[in-house]
Amino acid sequence: MMTFRGMNRALLATSLMGLLAAGPAAHAQETTNNWSNWDHWSGWWYGIYGGLNINMFSGEIHNPGTNDVNVAAPNGFTDGMGLGLALGGILEYNPGKLLGGNLMVGYDNRSVDFDDVNVAGSTRSNEGLVAHLSYVTIEPNLRINTGLQLLHVMLGPSFRLLVQKGYDYSYTESNTSVTSVQDFANIRSFVIGAQAGVGYDIPLKDYTASSQLIITPFAQFHLGQDLLDVPSGSNDKFGMNTIRAGVQVKWGTAATAVAPTDAPPLADFVVRAPNVVTDSRRLNETFPIRNYVFFDAGSTEIPARYTKLSSGDAESFSESQLLKPSAETGGTDAMQIRSRRQMEVYYQVLNVFGDRLRRNPAATIKLTGSANGDAATGKKMAEQVRTYLTSTFGIDAKRISVEGRAQPSHRSGSGSSQGEDKKMIDGENYRVEIESNPEDLLRPVNITSVQEEPIDNDIVFTVPNRTDMTSWTVEITERGSSATQTFGPYSGTIARVDSKALLGSRSDARYTTRVIVATKDGQTISAPEREIRLVRADDGEEQIGNRYSILFEFDQSRTVQTYETFLSQTVAPAIPNGASVIIHGHTDVTGDPDYNQKLSQGRSEETQKILARELTKAGKSVTFDTYGFGEDERRSPFNNTLPEQRYYNRTVVVEVVPAR
């Protein structure tokens, strides 16, 4: 028992609480243990605790025991405090969620040393009282985990069973010191109270260890109760508030086994194979007409690649003719075959606008020509387009305004391009832009086309994103064969393999697929094998889908949000429930390949978000396959030789394949 006569109680309590708070705060800046995955931490903890009680008296005591103890001071003992030990065991349940609980059972010393009292005229002086109280305390607590996880709040009742109830009463009389050692006569043997506190768990072992150890500094406030059961009319009252500051040491067993932190986790992957491998797909396509006519540098003549009609042919021309499919055979370049139909339609752009102006007598258009810095040449280019529309389709020249500008309103390039990129970008700035009033004249064209090697023929592999991965490869082995094909290496998290090339001439085959990950520390990790099956569509089996495209200016001058109305009001309503929706983004070959890949991926994902939102509203469930190909020329819808081809490659394509 320590005596603190005359000590400022508030200062003592504040100092001890400050020391308690400083410990976990300092440690929290150093600890590197990962508490984010509670599944691996123990739910049940067992331990011991020890602490220091700061006991603060309230009330007054005149006669603590038998009648031979009569305090001379008229108000008795009114000021006192003391320190005592708290020791015991703890059982705790902490599931890592908001609420948990614990039970603390132990020895609890609540001793108090009262300040001496003196009364003028009394024969006694230096009257002193020391209360020696101790209990067995039972404290069930509700544990509330805060957002910091390690920091928690404890709330609950306390039940105390009296163990020791002695006191020392001392005084000086006639220069003689007298001490009387007795028991409190009216002390309660069972006390019910309440308490609240905070604790901070500090893990001493990593969460991967099978046995776990935690040290927890804590502080509690125990609400005062009247400890005396005195007769009616007595002025004696013994109340006590207690602040306890201590430390818990708890141990537990890991809930699940975890691989050591110095060993990388096993590789894993997801593979999605096509239901049926098809050679081609007939598409009903909503094809955007690019409202630019590109000219060759140094010439003001409309290039020969644009389809120009005679006056007689123009009389019978109708945009509806473009809906009829045309042959897409011939040639050996699959990419050229894939893009021919769309470019045939684009090269009819002058005739499409001539037909629309003829069928809409009140409509007007504006032609703005630019020749990469030469406004005068640009105006001559625009005048050539106007002459064709007036002479071939008989459009009144007053309905067509002409303007020349040094550069287009959406200029290609930023001035920093070099070499071949600069040459291609400069070529895009020789063009005539067509603007209309009303804007309906710029609407897309409906056509029918044939898609060679549909993108959903791909086998799609996906691996988890991991910081220790440098690259990964795919190994595919046909069942019954010892030959293995290797694809990669890949650096992202998604890779695509052409199933048609893998299947070859076979109509049905089964394969074993495996992913191998290379890590930064030089290790190679194999994932568990996955089985897939590829089945070729029957001869004559035709699959019909719908395709929609949105086009972008150079770089990011127009965003996906620009096309939100088109996606939400035209595309989403046309998607049937249960369909497969393939979204693929592309760029042209100018610029940095990594930047282009991220740009196409971001545009594709934004398109999916808009469509997914609208389909959810409509109660439709579909399967998305969303990917950004960047400038990958094996997947580009068009070549990159001509300006118009590069502009059509700056696209996000949405293909809708109904469920079989």
The CATH architecture one would assign to domain 9-31+44-227+240-253 is Beta Barrel (2.40)
User: How much is the pLDDT for 412?
Assistant: 85
Output the pLDDT for position 28.
41
Of 381-385, 411-415, 479-483, 589-593, the one with minimum mean pLDDT is 411-415
Average pLDDT, stretch 241-259? 81
Q: What is the average pLDDT across 27-46?
A: 60
The structure tokens 């020349």 sit at 404
Nearest to 516 by CA among 493, 489, 536, 492: 489
Where does the pLDDT of residue 13 fall: very low under 50, low under 70, confident under 90, or very high at 90 and above? very low
**pLDDT surpasses 50 at 136:** yes
For the segment 284-296, the average pLDDT, to the nearest whole number, is: 91
**What stretch(es) of the chain map to CATH 2.60.40.10?**
270-278+452-535
Is 613 buried (19+), middle (13-18) or exposed (0-12) by CB count in 10 A? middle
DSSP classification of residue 380: H
Mean model confidence pLDDT for the chain:
84
Residue 27 pLDDT: 45
Q: Is the pLDDT of residue 207 over 70?
A: no
Residues of the chain with CATH 2.40.160: 9-31+44-227+240-253
The torsion angles phi and psi of 568, rounded to 5 degrees, stand at -80, -30
- Per-residue pLDDT, 300: 95
Model confidence at 75: pLDDT above 50: yes
| pLDDT (0 to 100) of residue 301 | 96
pLDDT at 637: 87
Domain(s) labelled CATH 3.30.1330.60 in the chain stretch across: 289-443, 544-657
For 289-443, CATH number? 3.30.1330.60
Mean pLDDT (whole number) for 598-614 = 92
Averaged over 192-197, what is the pLDDT?
A: 93
Is the bond preceding residue 95 a cis peptide, omega within 30 degrees? no
Identify the DSSP state of 538. Answer: P
Please state the separation of Cα 430 from the chain's center in Å. Answer: 44
Q: Read off the DSSP letter of residue 261.
A: T
- Read off the pLDDT of each residue in 76-82 and give the average, rounded to a whole number: 87
Percent of the chain with pLDDT over 70: 85
The most confident of 33-42, 198-207, 294-303, 317-326, by mean pLDDT: 294-303
Contact predicate 185/228, CB 8 Å: no
Report CA dihedral (601, 607, 613, 618) to the nearest 10 degrees: -130
Q: How far apart are CA 284 and CA 325, in angstroms?
A: 10
Please calculate the CA angle 221-223-226 and round it to the nearest 5 degrees: 145
Q: Which residue has the higher pLDDT, 57 or 383?
A: 383
What average pLDDT score do residues 505-522 get? 89
Assigned fold of 544-657: 60s Ribosomal Protein L30; Chain: A; (3.30.1330)
Residue 396 pLDDT > 50, yes or no?
Answer: yes
pLDDT of residue 353: 95
| 474 pLDDT more than 50 | yes
Q: Where are the alpha helices (DSSP H) in 240-374?
A: 311-316, 334-346, 349-359
- Confidence class for position 22, pLDDT limits 50, 70, 90: very low
pTM (global) more than 0.85: no
Number of H helices and number of E strands within the chain? 10, 29
**Domain 270-278+452-535 sits in which CATH superfamily?**
Immunoglobulins (2.60.40.10)
Residue 522 structure tokens: 């030089």
Span of 71-85, 345-359, 616-630, 632-646 with lowest mean pLDDT: 71-85
Calculate mean pLDDT across residues 370-376. 94
